[in-house]
Structure 1
Amino acid sequence: MSQTPETEGGRLFFRSETFAADPRRTRRTPTDETVPEPGRDIPLHARCDVLVVGGGPSGVAAAVAAARQGARTILLERHNHLGGLSTGGLVIWIDRMTDWSGRRVIRGFAEEFLDRLPKGAVSGPSPALWGARDAATAAWWAARTSAFHGIVTHSPTCDPEAMKLAAQEMVLEAGAELIFHAWGAEPILREGAVRGVFFESKQGRRAILAGVTVDATGDGDLFARAGAAYSDDIDERDIHHCMNTSWLFGGVNMPRYQRWRAEQPGAFSAFLQAGRERLRFFDKAFASWRDDVALFMGPRLSGYSAVDVDDLTAVEIQSHRLMAEHLALYRAGAPGFENAYLMLSAPQLGVRHARRLTGVAAVTRGDWDGRVWADEIGVSPSLSPKFPNVSVPYGALVPVALDGLLAPGRHLSCDANSHSFLREIPQCWMTGQAAGTAAALAVAGGVAPRAVPIPDLQATLRVGGAHLSPPAPERATA
C-alpha cells in the first residue's frame, strides 16, 4: 500500500516497517535424490480460445475483457472464490486510482467493478473530494487510508465478500466459464509456444488447450515453467518483497481508536513501542469498510521466498501467532479495542513479489518522466506528486521469446522500484483488462499476441472505458 516515499541514491523506495526473518530458523536441507514419475496420457478437460490461469484482480479483468470480445474464455482458479489478494488476501484497502490532481486514471474494468458494489460495501471519499489539499480534509482521510502527501485520493476500502460476488457475477455475465478448485500446474508447450495448461484438481491431472493463455498467477508460475526469462531481484529497503497473512478484528470502535491516535500521539507511540519490545513484530491497525472492523496488513515479513513452500509455511505460522498476540495487546492497551475478537485471517497469503517477466518492454525508474509509450495500454498514478503519471506499455505483458502467453498483474515486466506500485490491485485490473482484450484480438485475428495491432488494441480498450494518454506525434517505442 502507499507509504511515504524517500529518495536515496536516486532511487525511490517506501519508508515502512519490515521485519526480517530470523536467520536462525531451520531450513530444509536440499537433496540430490529424485523419484521417477511414470509417463501418462492426460485427459483433456476442455478447449477454449482464451485460458486465464489465476482469478485474482488481473485474471478476473482479463477473463471479463476476453469474453466480452466474443472469445470462448475459461478462468481457472485454485481457491473457491475470485479476487485473489483483494479478497482472499484481505487487501481490501484498494490503492490509488486517481492521480495527484484528483483525476481518475485507473478506469475501465476497475471503475465498473467498484460501481457494482452495493451501498455499505465501500468506504472512501466522494469524487468531489478527490484531489483536495486542505489540511483538515486530508488529515481526516489520511487516517482512513485515502489521503497521501496531504492530498485526498480515490483509495476505497471494500467488503471482501461483496468483491468476491461482484467478480464472480461479472465473469459469468460476460460469458466466461469458471473452474474453481483447480491449480494450474504446468504449461502445455508445442513448438515453443504455450498452448494451454495442465492443472491439478480432485479429478487428478487434466488439460485445457487454448489459443492464448494468460498467466495471471501473480508469481509468474506458468511463464517461468515454460522457460521464459524473468527477474527476481528486490529492493531490500522497500516493502514490495515482504509477505504476511492479513487479518481482521471485529468488535472494535475504530472512531474511538482514531481519535486516540490523533489526540494522544505520544500515548500511541508508547503503545507501539511496548508492542515491539514484547513481540518484536508489531503493527498498526487500519480502518476498514466498517467502523467495527479493524484491518491489519502486517507485520510485513522479509527474507522469505514466495516460491519456497517451506518459507510460505513459516510465514503462515508466524502470522497466525502474531494475530493472536496482537489481539491480546490491543485489547489491553488500545482504546476502542477492549471488546475486539479474532474475526478472520486471510485465506490467502499476502505475497507481494516472486518473479517479474522479462518482456518486450519494461517499466523502469527512468520512465517516471512523463513519457508515453507508443503501445500504451494504461496509465498508473505515480508514487509521489513529484512525478507525473506513468505510462504502461503492452510490451510489459509480452514475453521476449515465448509465444501464446501474456502476463498481466504483479509479475509484469518492470524493475524493482516500479514494481512497488505496479503490483497494486488497480494496476492489476488495468493490465488484466489489456491482456484479456489482446488475447481475444489475437485469437480473432489468427496472430500471436505479440503481433496484435496496437491501434486496434488501444481502440478496443478505449471502448471498454480504459484511460489512455491523448494521441501524440512522438512517443517512446517498445
Structure 2
Amino acid sequence: MAGTFIVEPERRVPVIAETDVLVVGGGAAGIAAAVAAARQGARAMLVERYGSLGGLATNGLIILLLTLDDGRGRQVVAGLCQELVDRLAARGACLFPPREEWGSPDPALVEKYRRLGLVWGSGPHAVRYSVAYDPEEFKVEADRLVLEAGVDLRFHRWAVGVRKDGGRVTHVIFESKAGREAVACGAVIDATGDADIAVLAGEPVEQELVHPWLWFRTANVDEAAAEASPQRSGYYRTVHPRGYLHPWGAAERIGRAIDPVNPDDLTYAEVECRRLARAELDRLRGKAAGFERAWLAGFAATLGITESRRLVGLHQLVREEMDRHADDVVAVTGHWTKYGAVYEIPWRSLVAQGTANLAAAGRCISVDHRVHHATKEIPACFATGEAAGTGAALALERGCGLAEVDVRALQARLRAAGAWLPGP
C-alpha cells in the first residue's frame, strides 16, 4: 500500500486562542522568546510538544551551559540566561567558576572544571564561564520564569500547519489528544529547533544529516576511585555526589548518519543508541575504576539532535564573519571549543525572507554549518530567543513587519533588560 493516498474530508478547525506573539517550541530559545515578549507588554503564548520545558537542556540531558563567555574571561551572554543561572544557584542546583577565575590558565583550575564538563576543545586551555546544573531543577525554574512573566503556556501540542494571509501567518494549527486546533497570532517565533514553522510557511531551509547522541547519567559511582583513575575520560561529575554525566554518541558510535526529521530514522536511532549506550555502561563496569557497582540513572528522554534544518533568512551568518561587528547585532556568543572566537548575531539572521511576521530563534536561525556549532549551544539559544521575543513585541507595538523593526530601539530594549551587546 505504500505510495497510495487517501483523501480526508474537509473539516472545521476550532480557533482556541488568540495571542500577540506565538512561540512554538519550549527549549531554551522558546523560553527566552516567550518571557521577553511578555515582559515587553505583548500577549505571549508558548506551545511545547512535550510536558516540560527545556528541550535538549533538560530532556536531552545536555545539562551544561557552554558557554557564557568569549574564552578570554569576558561574559557575552547575560540577560535571561544569566537570570536562570541565578535562580538555579539560589537553589544550590548548579556549579560554575567564580568570576575571578574566568580566563585563568592555571592548570589545576582548568583540570578542576574540565572534570565538571566545563572546559572543552583544544588547548592551550583557560577557565570558561560555563555552568553545570540539575535538569529537574531547571524544569521547575523554567516553569516559574514563564508563568511569572504572564505567558500562556500550553503543553502536549505539535504544530502541523499554518494559515497565511498574503505574506503573514495568521494562525498556527496544532494536533493533540484534543484533536486539531488553531491559534490566531500577530507574530510567530519558530523555536522548534527543526525549523518546523519555517517549512510549513514555505520558507527556504538548509538541512543536515547527523550522527545522533544519547547522553545518559550513572549513579552509585565510587567518586574517589573514578577521580583518581589515570584512564578517566568521557564522563563528567554532576552537581550531585556519586553521579556522572556521559555525553555519549557521535560518528564513531552509531552505524550511519540519520535524517533528523525522518521519523523512521529517528526510530532506528532511538533503539540503536539505547542498546549501544547500555553496552557502554557494561564496559565501564568492567574497565573503569569506580564504576564497578554503578547503575544507570537514566537515558536522555530525547536524542541529542543538535542540527537538522536551519532557516535561510534575510542574512546567513557565515564563518568569515567571526569577530566582525554587525550593525544590527542582537545577540552575541562565544564558541564552546575555541578561545576568543565571537559571533555577533544580526537581527537579519533571525528574520524570514518571505513571511513578514515570522522569526526563528535557537538552533534553527540563519547561519552556516560551521557557525551553527557556536549558535546551537544553550546560552546562545537563550540570547537569540530573547532577541526574537523582544523584536516581535516591538514590531507589533509599532505596527511593522519584523524586517522593518527599528534595530536601534531593539538593541536599547535588550540592553535595558540585561542582555549583553557590544557598544554603549
**TM-score normalized by the length of structure 1:** 0.84
Aligned length: 416
Aligned equivalents of 1:256 and 1:99: distance in 2?
34
2:289 corresponds to which residue? 335
2:243 corresponds to which residue? 293
- 1:52 aligned residue (15, 19, 23): 23
In structure 1, stretches of 5+ residues that fail to align are 1-29, 235-240, 270-283, 472-478
Q: What SS does the corresponding residue of 1:137 show, helix, strand or coil?
A: helix
Map 1:318-397 to 2 at 5 A. Answer: 318-368=272-322, 370-382=323-335, 387-397=340-350
Cα deviation for residue 233 of structure 1 reads 4.5
**Contact between 1:93 and 1:288, CA under 8 Å: does it hold in 2?**
no
Amino acid at match of 2:285: R
1:431 corresponds to which residue? 384
Cα deviation for residue 321 of structure 1 reads 1.1
Aligned equivalents of 2:289 and 2:85: distance in 1?
32
- 2:216 aligned residue (240, 247, 250): 247
Distance 1:385 1:183, change over 3 A: closer
Distance 1:67 1:197, change over 3 A: same
**Contact between 1:51 and 1:196, CA under 8 Å: does it hold in 2?**
no
Cα deviation for residue 170 of structure 1 reads 0.5
1:125-156 superposed Cα distances (whole Å, 9 cap, x missing partner): 22221111122221222222223431001111
1:87 corresponds to which residue? 58
Q: What SS does the corresponding residue of 1:111 show, helix, strand or coil?
A: helix
1:135-180 superposed Cα distances (whole Å, 9 cap, x missing partner): 2221222222223431001111110011001111000000111101
Q: What SS does the corresponding residue of 2:331 show, helix, strand or coil?
A: strand
Cα deviation for residue 290 of structure 1 reads 1.9
1:229 corresponds to which residue? 204
- 1:217 aligned residue (174, 177, 192): 192
Cα deviation for residue 448 of structure 1 reads 1.1
Is 1:162 equivalent to 2:137 in the alignment? yes
Amino acid at match of 1:375: D
Q: What SS does the corresponding residue of 1:59 show, helix, strand or coil?
A: helix
**Contact between 2:216 and 2:300, CA under 8 Å: does it hold in 1?**
yes
Aligned equivalents of 1:147 and 1:386: distance in 2?
11
Amino acid at match of 2:304: G
1:237 corresponds to which residue? none
**Contact between 2:72 and 2:339, CA under 8 Å: does it hold in 1?**
no
Range with bigger deviation, 426-435 or 354-363: 354-363
2:399 corresponds to which residue? 446
Percent of paired sites with the same residue: 37
**Contact between 1:93 and 1:145, CA under 8 Å: does it hold in 2?**
yes
**Contact between 1:376 and 1:391, CA under 8 Å: does it hold in 2?**
yes
**Contact between 1:196 and 1:212, CA under 8 Å: does it hold in 2?**
no
Cα deviation for residue 385 of structure 1 reads 5.4
**Contact between 2:208 and 2:307, CA under 8 Å: does it hold in 1?**
no
**Contact between 1:253 and 1:291, CA under 8 Å: does it hold in 2?**
no
Aligned equivalents of 1:210 and 1:111: distance in 2?
29
Q: What SS does the corresponding residue of 2:420 show, helix, strand or coil?
A: coil
Map 1:16-415 to 2 at 5 A. Answer: 31-117=2-88, 118-148=90-120, 149=123, 150-233=125-208, 241-260=210-229, 264-265=230-231, 284-300=234-250, 301=254, 302-368=256-322, 370-382=323-335, 387-415=340-368
**Contact between 2:363 and 2:381, CA under 8 Å: does it hold in 1?**
yes
Q: What SS does the corresponding residue of 2:164 show, helix, strand or coil?
A: strand
Q: What SS does the corresponding residue of 1:152 show, helix, strand or coil?
A: coil
Aligned equivalents of 1:259 and 1:187: distance in 2?
56
**Contact between 1:379 and 1:391, CA under 8 Å: does it hold in 2?**
yes
Q: What SS does the corresponding residue of 1:140 show, helix, strand or coil?
A: helix
Cα deviation for residue 245 of structure 1 reads 2.4
Amino acid at match of 1:120: G
Q: What SS does the corresponding residue of 1:381 show, helix, strand or coil?
A: strand
Amino acid at match of 1:126: P
Cα deviation for residue 249 of structure 1 reads 1.2
1:172-214 superposed Cα distances (whole Å, 9 cap, x missing partner): 0001111011111112222132123100111100000000011
Aligned equivalents of 1:386 and 1:89: distance in 2?
26
Aligned equivalents of 2:34 and 2:21: distance in 1?
8
Q: What SS does the corresponding residue of 2:78 show, helix, strand or coil?
A: coil
**Contact between 2:317 and 2:345, CA under 8 Å: does it hold in 1?**
yes
Q: What SS does the corresponding residue of 2:65 show, helix, strand or coil?
A: coil
Distance 1:93 1:383, change over 3 A: closer
Cα deviation for residue 120 of structure 1 reads 2.9
Q: What SS does the corresponding residue of 1:458 show, helix, strand or coil?
A: helix
1:433-465 superposed Cα distances (whole Å, 9 cap, x missing partner): 000001111111111111111011000000111
Q: CA RMSD in A?
A: 1.7
Aligned equivalents of 1:384 and 1:308: distance in 2?
29
**Contact between 2:73 and 2:128, CA under 8 Å: does it hold in 1?**
yes
Q: What SS does the corresponding residue of 1:350 show, helix, strand or coil?
A: coil
